[in-house]
Amino acid sequence: MTRTWTPGAADAALDAVARTPRLLVALDFDGTLSELVVDAMSARAVPEAAAAIERLAALPDTLVALVSGRSLDHLRIIAEHDDASPVALAGSHGAQEWIPGTGETDPVDPPEERALREQLWVDVEELLAAYPGVELERKTYGLGIHGRPADPAVEAQAFSAVDQLMARRAPHWRRRTGSRILEFSSRQEGKDAAIAALRERFAATAVVFAGDDVTDEDALRSLHPGDLGVRVGPGESAADLRVENPQQIAALLGVIAAERGAGRE
């Protein structure tokens, strides 16, 4: 059962994960560290969250990772992430990685999928011209349809039209929905696989994962005993704790940093 956490409240699970020998802190970005915004590329982490991440990433035996459905290049822009960063990235729901000290790793993209994707970008963009405010995002391994700027009725019509097109043209692609977004990808990876890969790579003894949307539930359900899952905002969830907004997840991360930093910094 998901418990609501109030900033300042003591929580045994929070204290326990902060004391684990090797900690992975994996975080969704949009709606978790940043507010949800109409212009997707204008999203930025709220200052409190950015400060908490910086503090955690500086601690020994602690890896912070951003795990997002965004393409890696877009994630690096909105996260203001550069090559000197100690923060790992998993983009495209885990199909892409950027690892400190190693850099970017991409899976092989078959030529036939690349050709199909590029043609679908053109066809979907033409289709969306009939739906004002609904926008196409060209992703590394697929596409996203953003309805946030549109009237909800127009959004629903556009999503239905895109669903029909994709069912005909790319029925093997993975379909995902989120907060006013519809996504399709030629890759089958999910955030659960991203967490598993990061856990193994870092030899983490515990994982904290926080997210706000349907696509984050794959990762939350995959957590092990002794890990900590956090849901940001409303909705059914497999998380242990719930907070209301990015400011509260920042406060929670600050508690972990303070507890973990005692005697380590």
pTM, rounded to two decimals:
0.86
User: Which of 200, 206, 223, 260 is CA-nearest to residue 52?
Assistant: 260
CA distance 202 to 112: 34
Residue 263 pLDDT: 54
pLDDT tens digits, 23-60: 999 999 999 999 999 888 999 999 999 999 999 999 99
Size of the chain in residues: 265
CA distance 201 to 212: 25
Residue 264 pLDDT: 57
Given a contact cutoff of 8 angstroms between Cβ atoms, the answer to whether 246 and 33 are in contact is yes
Residue 227 pLDDT: 98
In this structure, the number of other CB atoms found within 10 A of the CB of residue 200 comes to 9
CA distance 173 to 141: 10
* Burial of 58 from C-beta contacts in 10 A (0-12 / 13-18 / 19+): middle
Given a contact cutoff of 8 angstroms between Cβ atoms, the answer to whether 220 and 214 are in contact is no
User: Which of 190, 180, 218 is CA-nearest to residue 93?
Assistant: 190
User: Which of 225, 213, 223, 221 is CA-nearest to residue 238?
Assistant: 221
